[in-house]
Each structure stands twice: as C-alpha cells, then as structure tokens.
C-alpha cells in the first residue's frame, strides 16, 4: 500500500566536504542523517513528469540550526519520478569499469557499489571525472565492502586487513578504531566515500562465511557487548576519516539458519534477538550511525518476510531503536529474495514500500548489464507510483533521505 511521509525528526547531519583531485567527494563526520517517518495514511500520486531543475547546485555545508532533510525535501519536490527513483538505486560495477559509469552519473543514480579486489591506477581521478557528470553536479555515493579478512576490496590501496573476529580477539576498541580510521583514510584517498561495514552480527563461530553461516569470522565476537564495543569503534574510525559507515545486517544474522545469498533463511527468534542481536545496533545508533543495512533473513516471531522487504522490521528500527538515518537493503539479487519469485525490480518496489530508502543488487560483470538492470528497477518504481502502489511522497522522502545523508542540499 502506498505510504505518506510523516513529520521530520529533528536531528541534523554534519557535512564534511573532501576534495579528491578536481572532483568533490563527501563523507559524514559524526552525523546521523535526519529521517522521514512513514505513516499509515494512504496517498496516491500519478504525476509522471515534473520539470527538472537545470541550475547547477553548489555543494555547501548546511547552515547551523537548519534541517538538511527539509532542504532536500524542498529540492526534490521538482524532480520527475524517474529522477526520484534513480536516487534510491545503487549501481554495481567492477572498479576496473568505473569509467563506463558516466551514464549512471548523468541519470542521477544515488550511488555506485564497487566490486573487485584491487583499485585501478588513478581511480580517484576517474571517479572525479564521473562525478563531474552527475545531475546538478552533486556527487553519487561511492561504496564498497571493506570489512577485513575475506571481505575486502581495493587491497592495493587499503592493504591487508584481518577478519573482524581476529581484530576482536587481539585488539582493544581503541586499536580497532585506529584500524577503521586507517581504512577510511585509504578509501577516501581512492575516492570511496561509503563503507558497507562494520558487521554488527553476533556470531562467535570461528569459520569462514559460507552457505551455512553468513557471519563466522566476519563477526567481532559471540558476545553482544563485545560486538557493540568493537563494532562501534570500527564505525567511529571510519567516520573520523570522513567515510560514511553502513552497519549491518539488521536486526542481526548471528545464529541464522543459513546464508541468505544461497536461499531463504531465518534468524534466531525475535525474543532472543532483542536480548542479543539488537544490542550492537542499539549502541551504534546511540553513537550516531548514519546508515543501516537490512538483512534478507526472516525473523521468527516478528516477520515471515525477508527483513529488507518487511515494514515491521523497519518500524522496529525507526520507532523502537530511534534510528533516523539512511536504510539500505542487502542485495536484492540474493536467493532468499528470488526464492519468493521476485525479480530485482519487483523486490525493489516492495523494499521501498516497506520503508527502505535505498536498494542494492548484485554485480552482473559488465557495466552495460548493470546499467540496464538499474533502468529496469527505476522503471518499476516509476510504474509503481503510476499504478498507485507507491506514493510520490514516499519516493520524494527516500530521495531526500539519500541527499540528506550526504548533506548535499541547495539551502540558501
């Protein structure tokens, strides 16, 4: 059912502008973006063509005391449905193919997700050239998964990073924060402004992640308090480097039945998660986490849907935990999603209906195929508004949340 965006929460983002080469890349420093809440009022809009602005927006720090989200909401109110939809989409691409992402920049997609084990020479310059072609000259989020151990990218820039569990066993929270700062500084120097990390799942098993366990060594510990302390330290290290962390996988995959990349999975019961798996997320949110990634597992006692598609899970995150930042899905290409006979475009519609602000899907290998997949998702979101399944107000709220997270708003 369509949803109307409700009242603004009164939290303000802080902007740090970082210049890489001739381009502008942004990171969030010590900030939680302001969220738009969803109410149960149904509003349907079939508007399909709002004239897009052609002026060039100068990226500036939001004025003290103003709401970045309020400015962003005002700004996107003139956007076409396609522009709004595109802002909620992250396009996957091999780091080696970044130069082919100019069409993504011109279309105004919200972000690029980098895959690959190494960064090409002069990647920062390539990103700057691509960013210079973005809609109204505001930059896309440039994202990657830099957790450590077997889940790391761009190793020629970052260097080798131990598994989270190894860090948890051998380093103090202060030292882990230092690792996060080093990783963030290295990422930003390569033009990457968002790290889809740290993992806040509570799972002490000393195994590499696989079909049976999505976490294992990716988790800092099997103790909720240790994951809360170490994960928050890693997160704050990234933020100190002006890189935006996205903590994952809410509401917690520790002890889940299987890896959702390989098929449907369930977490431990909700009654148990509330005492264990939620603890690290509560701590991170209290410390200003700017972004949260939802899992693709269902939660016994809470929802039979994958969390990325569940309005109940989003309600717990927004209302019970008081999170007011950006909510992202896990990959909608996962087999836990396709098992529901949902292609990525249809899953994206359901995710935004549920309250997510931004959608991820897997890498296809070629830049052209990724761009085609992104267009299919955009078309599905636009059609959902035209059909009354999703409201224009909801899509405006999502696009504004993306802009507010980066604090790229045309405030006077």
Q: CA 81 to CA 380: how far, in whole Å? A: 11
CA 332 to chain centre: 13
User: Strands 90-94 and 141-144: what pairing?
Assistant: unpaired
Q: Which of 3-7, 68-72, 189-193, 324-328 has the lowest mean pLDDT?
A: 3-7
Contact 173/229 with Cβ under 8 angstroms? yes
Q: CA 314 to CA 311: how far, in whole Å? A: 5
Q: Give the per-residue pLDDT at 356.
A: 98
172 membership: H or E segment, kind and range = none
Q: Give the per-residue pLDDT at 411.
A: 66
C-alpha distances (whole Å) from 226 to each of 57, 127, 166, 229, 293 are: 43, 37, 13, 5, 20
Mean pLDDT of 140-166: 90
Q: Which two tokens stand for residue 323?
A: 């999170």
Q: Give the per-residue pLDDT at 104.
A: 96
Give percent of the chain above pLDDT 90: 71
Q: Which of 23-27, 167-171, 232-236, 338-342 has the lowest mean pLDDT?
A: 23-27
Predicted TM-score (pTM) above 0.75: yes
Contact 35/323 with Cβ under 8 angstroms? yes
- Average pLDDT of the chain is 84
Q: Give the per-residue pLDDT at 406.
A: 75
| Residue 49 buriedness (CB in 10 A; 0-12 / 13-18 / 19+) | exposed
Q: Give the per-residue pLDDT at 396.
A: 96
pLDDT digits (tens, 9 = 90+) for 193-218: 999 999 999 999 999 999 999 999 99
Mean pLDDT of 62-69: 48
pLDDT digits (tens, 9 = 90+) for 261-276: 999 999 999 999 999 9
Q: Give the per-residue pLDDT at 64.
A: 29
Q: Give the per-residue pLDDT at 152.
A: 85
Q: Which two tokens stand for residue 266?
A: 């369930």
Helix (H, G, I), strand (E, B) or coil at 94: strand
Q: Give the per-residue pLDDT at 159.
A: 82
Mean pLDDT of 277-302: 98
Residue 397: pLDDT above 70?
yes
Other residues' Cβ atoms within 10 Å of the Cβ of residue 45: 17
Q: CA 3 to CA 354: how far, in whole Å? A: 9
Contact 91/370 with Cβ under 8 angstroms? yes
Instruction: Give the chain's domains with CATH numbers.
Output: 5-32+64-159+182-201+242-406 (3.20.20.300)
Mean pLDDT of 274-284: 98
Q: CA 397 to CA 357: how far, in whole Å? A: 8
Q: CA 330 to CA 297: how far, in whole Å? A: 10
Q: Give the per-residue pLDDT at 410.
A: 62
């Amino acid at each position: 059912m369509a949803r109307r965006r409700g009242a603004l929460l009164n939290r303000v983002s802080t902007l740090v502008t970082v210049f890489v080469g001739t381009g502008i890349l942004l990171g969030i420093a010590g900030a939680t973006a302001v969220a738009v809440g969803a109410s149960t009022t149904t509003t349907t809009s079939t508007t399909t063509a709002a004239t897009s602005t052609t002026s060039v927006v100068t990226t500036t720090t939001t004025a003290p005391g103003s709401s970045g989200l309020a400015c962003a909401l005002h700004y996107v109110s003139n956007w076409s449905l396609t522009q709004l939809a595109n802002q909620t989409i992250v396009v996957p691409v091999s780091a080696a193919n970044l130069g082919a992402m100019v069409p993504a920049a011109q279309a105004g997609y919200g972000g690029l997700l980098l895959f690959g084990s190494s960064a090409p020479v002069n990647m920062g310059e390539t990103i700057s050239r691509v960013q210079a072609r973005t809609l109204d000259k505001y930059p896309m989020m440039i994202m990657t998964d830099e957790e450590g151990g077997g889940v790391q990218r761009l190793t020629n820039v970052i260097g080798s990073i131990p598994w989270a569990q190894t860090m948890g066993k051998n380093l103090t929270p202060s030292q882990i924060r230092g690792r996060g700062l080093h990783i963030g500084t290295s990422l930003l120097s390569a033009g990457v402004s968002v790290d889809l990390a740290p993992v806040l799942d509570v799972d002490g098993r000393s195994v590499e992640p696989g079909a049976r366990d999505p976490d294992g060594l990716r988790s800092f510990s099997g103790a909720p308090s240790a994951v809360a302390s170490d994960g928050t330290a890693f997160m704050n290290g990234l933020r100190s480097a002006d890189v935006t962390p996205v903590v994952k996988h809410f509401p917690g995959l520790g002890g889940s039945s299987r890896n959702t990349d390989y098929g449907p999975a369930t977490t431990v019961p909700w009654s148990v998660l509330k005492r264990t798996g939620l603890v690290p997320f509560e701590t991170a949110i209290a410390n200003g986490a700017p972004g949260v990634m939802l899992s693709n597992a269902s939660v016994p006692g809470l929802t039979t849907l994958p969390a990325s598609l569940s309005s109940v899970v989003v309600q717990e995150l927004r209302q019970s935990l008081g999170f007011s930042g950006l909510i992202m899905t896990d990959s909608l290409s996962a087999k836990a999603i396709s098992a529901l006979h949902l292609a990525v475009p249809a899953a994206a519609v359901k995710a935004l209906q549920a309250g997510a602000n931004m959608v991820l899907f897997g890498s296809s290998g070629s830049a052209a195929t990724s761009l085609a997949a992104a267009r299919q998702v955009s078309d599905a979101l636009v059609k959902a508004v035209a059909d009354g399944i999703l409201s224009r107000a909801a899509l405006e709220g999502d696009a504004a949340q993306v802009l507010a997270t980066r604090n790229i708003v045309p405030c006077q």
